[in-house]
Chain A
């Protein structure tokens, strides 16, 4: 038996101590009619056979290591320094539980405390929690927090149509029992307009305005004035941010945001077919009691030594039950550690280099691609490492052609925005060489004129 250490003798001694004759006798409380069903599952494999099977399944994929990727739209292909996974593979970290016993969990606790510190440094906010499941659920939790902040008296959120469509869908799922209306992200919204276009919707009934930075189309706006105007109506503002961009651009904290959330995957985490990744959540001190999720605080132990504990747990489900700020329990602890290791090992210099390389290469790609007759950029506003490109043909068709040449094309924006049929969202990172970008340009030329 694979991981069960008992010898037959030991088993029998234990049964005797308990006072039953067989293992099956332990299950008398289970209704006899349903007891011991035959499970129709494949017979057990040895480790050697399982390794082969999994190898075969993984081998049936074409990964971004085999293809040249220009696909982003929420998850990005970045270089992960070797150190990150070496630390994550330490059993002391990955086989520990939530640090409820601080005397023997200071490793996890200090690492989370440092993660919280790094995220506040990056976003320019005052505090960070210990993580949410991903960028989408962190954004949905921002809605919960804002709703609770106004004790349910403000019943509207304004959601920019330029927020990641999967985040918007998740928010709609999360809020379906809340008697809350969502405005701003209808299919016919004017996508060329800047975020100011949302302001007429923000009123005295609005709990939260949500915008993305850079937005889903890669555009970078300074939200300072928009935030001021939303605050004038008494509403809170949440910015869903890309953490790589934050190494370069003005922080949401400087712009006056109340909540900054986002997907932490670009910070040293693998694409992993979409997860597990990392939802980060940062805010201001005045909202700390309304915030969901675990929080690590500094203290001292009985010897007066500086140490860390989970704090303000009275907000959480295991204490507050149905009155809790959220039902979250398991979070993304190990991924938060991964991102902290990434930020530590690339440091200030490395992180700036990554952001700058993304910017430079994306702008080179955009310049070259828009020179192709019939193609052009959808938007004229400044962008970071992603841009909407008109390819003048169904994107699916163009991507099929690219794939034949080993290129993973950009996201088909027509899937979410009817007005953007024929537009592709191209992402470029430090992983894309000039040669790869030039190849994309060449093959796209062929594709559109084929």
Chain B
């Protein structure tokens, strides 16, 4: 059943892809003292490698295989054309330090992408540099800090974060040594305005808010929330993880947000890659534009009758600096550019309309069987409780049992404010039949909870592997394997 590791498959002397002999006169290598003695890299033939990774791929569940309703992850279908456009040789084989005259295609695409994201979000300026959502958050928080500092306001150290927030929000603020103040949610799943009012003072850097929040609810007092934060001199950070609900519906910039990151790997269909790469562009209001990371893409010389514009780089006046080497995850940006170009304004709005339709349809069908703590129209996702009165079945058990029905489980145990949370985000790319089968599976599991709870507690039964001994992994910490001859005695 188990696939051996590439180290176990290695055979001394076997070769895969080899390289030409040198065509230049021979130069002596430096002294042995400066060279390594062993190179414990496996030795395989090309076919061994292809079969090995093909076998491994069979152990993965993926969007290409089936429904993947992970809440807050936006596991939508990843269009195949994007995989082709991002690999065009003109994109794939350009070096980030080439003279601008030789990379006008890349710069034109990035410039237009900045403009498109500004238009979609209502922000004044956009950087494409951040590598992922959390990296975008860190960029945003650095800019908020720099903004206050530039005004000579040095006592602001509190970041207000709702209890339903993603863990990356407090972690990003924590990286700058800020004091995180947790703001509770009210009975309707909105930010508790009384608690917010009490926390707003002249020590507030700002607030990091996901809207719609991780319960899938659009905050009904969003205008008041923004006003309270702005009135005490704070800035509003928007976590764009849930932007798939808002395209053509409302622009965070119009609502008064000052800064927001986009997750191109969620909203704009960049595949998740088994954990990455993502891409986390950041949009800002006018007052933060001068603090953006450098460089941005600009028009260096306007177009005239004969020539297209000349694109180049610019450095914002009070830039926080550079967030990573080079210009961001260009390969991801090309995918999202293709995706936006193929949707246009109406197509983008349809994405959010149908994402919200699908989530509400699932909730409407499931709420008779599972407790939904906040029963109102949701946005692109919703949260229900994975437990049944009189049984000890938990959200984790239901998740594992769903695998037997050939579905990827929802996000579980998040947000932390709901007991045994199951957070379900279907996305717009799933059809009614899929949603119905998923609902039927969850209803069947609710039935099993009464008639045969053991089958849920011991699930999954049909997957290539059973439940894992996570304690053993953490206790023994076996984090790598080696060639047999290099194994410690």
Q: Decide: B428 and A3 in contact? CB cutoff 8 A.
A: yes
| Residue with the highest number of chain B CB atoms closer than 10 Å, among A64, A87, A249, A322 | A322
Q: Is A136 an interface residue (CB 8 A)?
A: yes
User: Is A11 an interface position by the 8 A CB rule?
Assistant: yes
The answer to whether A346 and B16 touch (CB under 8 A), given A272-B91, A317-B171, A318-B167, is: yes
Partner of A327, one of B85, B137, B469: B137
Residues of A within 8 A of B279 (CB): 276
Q: How far is the CB of B393 from chain A (nearest CB, A)?
A: 17
Which residue in A77, A83, A367 is a CB contact (below 8 Å) of B50? A83
**In this assembly, does B87 line the interface, its C-beta being within 8 Å of a C-beta of chain A?**
yes
Shortest Cβ distance from B480 into A: residue: A117
Scan residues 1-32 of chain B and give those whose CB is less than 8 A from a CB of chain A.
1-3, 5-7, 10, 14-20, 22-27, 29-30
> Is B99 in contact with A403, judged by CB distance below 8 angstroms?
yes
Assess the B174–A322 pair: CB atoms within 8 A. Answer: yes
Residues of A within 8 A of B77 (CB): 3
The closest CB in chain B to the CB of A90 belongs to: B57
B residues 99-129 near A (Cβ < 8 Å) are 99, 101-106, 108-109, 116, 119-120, 122
Residues of chain B within 8 A of A228, CB atoms compared:
none
A4-B354, A275-B328, A364-B24 known; A51 and B323 CB under 8 Å?
A: no
The reply to whether the CB of B453 lies closer than 8 angstroms to some CB of chain A is no
Q: Which of B64-100 contact A (CB under 8 A)?
A: 64-65, 68, 70, 73, 75-79, 81, 83-85, 87-99
Q: Closest B residue to A130 by CB, please name it.
A: B275
User: What CA separation (Å) do A341 and B87 show in the bound complex?
Assistant: 18
| Given A275-B331, A329-B134, A307 and B78 contact (CB-CB distance below 8 Å) | no
Interface flags for A4-46 (1: CB within 8 Å of B; 0: not) read: 1110001101110111100110111111001111111111111
Chain A window 253-266, contacts with chain B (Cβ cutoff 8 Å), 1 for yes, 0 for no: 01000000001000
Give every chain A residue within 8 A of B103 (Cβ-Cβ). Answer: 61-62, 273
Nearest to B458 among chain A residues (CB) is A302
Q: Which residues of B are found within 8 Å of A170, using beta-carbon distances?
A: 321-325
For B220, give the chain A residue with the smallest CB separation: A29
A83 touching B17 in the complex, CB below 8 Å, given contacts A34-B250, A37-B251, A302-B467: yes
Q: Report yes or no: A91 in contact with B41, Cβ–Cβ below 8 A.
A: no
The answer to whether B170 touches A1 (Cβ under 8 A) is no
B250 partner, pick from A35, A134, A178, A299, beta carbons under 8 A: A35
Contact A250:B33 (CB < 8 A) given known A97-B75, A360-B26: yes
B331 A276 Cβ-Cβ under 8 A: yes
Query: Roughly how many angstroms separate A352 CA and B36 CA in the complex, as a whole number?
Result: 11
Q: Which residues of B contact A340 (CB under 8 A)?
A: 6
What's the Cα separation between A257 and B44 when bound, in Å? 30
**Nearest-neighbor residue (CB-CB) of A9 within chain B:** B432
- How many Å from the CB of A431 to the closest CB on chain B? 10
Contact residues in B for A24 (Cβ distance below 8 Å): 353
- The answer on a CB contact under 8 Å between A311 and B89 is no
Which B residues lie within 8 Å of A225 (CB)? Answer: none
Q: Are B63 and A96 in contact (CB under 8 A)?
A: yes
- CB <8 Å contact, A134 and B325: yes
Q: Hey, which chain A residues are within 8 Å of B476, CB to CB? A: 297-299
Cβ of A151 under 8 Å from chain B? no
Within 8 A of B (CB), among A109-140: 110-114, 116-118, 120-122, 124, 127-128, 130-131, 133-137
A299 near B468: Cβ-Cβ < 8 Å? yes
Interface-facing stretch out of A187-195, A229-237, A330-338, A440-448: A330-338
Given the known inter-chain contacts A93-B273, A95-B272, please indicate yes or no for A10 contacting B432, CB distance below 8 A. Answer: yes
The reply to whether the CB of B387 lies closer than 8 angstroms to some CB of chain A is no
Of the candidate stretches A98-106, A204-212, A371-379, the one touching chain B is A98-106
Cβ B62 vs Cβ A92 within 8 A: yes
Q: Quick check: A137 and B249 within 8 Å, CB to CB?
A: no
**Is B102 touching A343 in the complex (CB atoms < 8 A)?**
no
| A300 located at the interface, meaning its Cβ lies under 8 Å from any Cβ of chain B in the complex | yes
Report if A351 contacts B (CB, 8 A): yes
Q: In the bound complex, what is the Cα–Cα distance between A314 and B251 (angstroms)?
A: 36
List the B side residues contacting A74 at CB < 8 Å: 97, 325-326
Q: How far is the CA of A197 from the CA of B351 in the complex (A)?
A: 59
- B46 at the A interface (CB under 8 A): yes
In the assembled complex, which residues on chain A have CB atoms less than 8 Å from the CB atom of B326?
74-75, 134, 166, 273-275
| A324-372 with Cβ < 8 A to chain B | 324, 326-335, 337, 340-341, 343-354, 356-357, 359-361, 363-364, 367
The CA-CA distance from A47 to B358 in the complex, in Å, is 25
Q: Counting CB contacts under 8 A, is B316 at the interface?
A: no
Interface status of A153 (Cβ within 8 A of chain B): no
Q: Which of B60, B326, B474 has the most chain A CB atoms inside 10 A of its CB?
A: B60
Does the CB pair B5–A92 fall under 8 Å? no
Q: Is A303 an interface residue (CB 8 A)?
A: yes
Interface string of A63-84 (1 = CB under 8 A from B): 1110101010111010101010
A-B contact pairs, 17 of them (CB 8 A): A13-B432, A14-B361, A36-B349, A39-B119, A51-B81, A97-B70, A108-B275, A118-B41, A249-B36, A273-B95, A296-B479, A297-B473, A300-B468, A348-B41, A356-B22, A361-B24, A430-B19
Ranked 9 nearest A-B pairs via Cβ: A274-B326, A58-B90, A274-B96, A333-B275, A91-B64, A44-B344, A334-B273, A60-B105, A177-B176
A39-B120, A46-B342, A61-B105 known, 11 other contacts, Cβ within 8 Å:
A6-B354, A99-B275, A113-B481, A133-B135, A134-B326, A135-B325, A177-B178, A312-B477, A318-B167, A331-B132, A363-B27
